[in-house]
Amino acid sequence: MAKLTKTEIAHVARLAKLKITSAETDKFQKQLSKVLDYFNELDEVDTSDQEPTSQTTGLKNVFRTDEIRTSGCLSQEETLSGTDRTKNGYFVVDAVLENKDL
């Protein structure tokens, strides 16, 4: 049985940016050790006759081709007609980010 130390559990918690109590450390020590034991069992399975695979669906390309559809689209004039704040054919909006050094 894999036995993780409390130091290792604390390290994993720090990596995950988790603050855990001493009681939680004990709890996770047991749980994560069981997870590692399961992976050790999987290592014992003979997969030498299995071909490596990255996906199992057999699909080659699930993306559609990009098509420009102009029907149902607003013109630039129609799009900007709902606001008074425009400049050079664009919406004018308040700054989202500010540079405090300027």
33-90 tens-digit pLDDT: 999 999 888 888 998 998 888 878 878 877 888 888 888 888 899 999 999 999 999 9
| Cβ contacts of 13 within 8 Å, gap of 6 or more | 19, 20, 25, 28
Task: Give yes or no for a contact between 40 and 2, defined as CB atoms under 8 angstroms apart.
Answer: yes
Q: Per this entry, what is the length of the chain? A: 102
CB 36: neighbour CB atoms within 10 A?
13
Which pLDDT score, from 0 to 100, does residue 102 have?
A: 60
Domain boundaries of the chain, sorted by first residue: 6-43
Check pLDDT > 80 for residue 2: no
Main-chain phi, psi angles of 55, to 5 degrees = -155, 160
| pTM of the predicted model over 0.85 | no
Helix axis angle, 22-43 to 6-15, nearest 10°: 90
* Residue among 68, 89, 72, 93 nearest 80 (CA): 89
Between 58 and 21, the higher pLDDT residue:
21
Local confidence band at 99 (pLDDT 50, 70, 90 cut-offs): confident
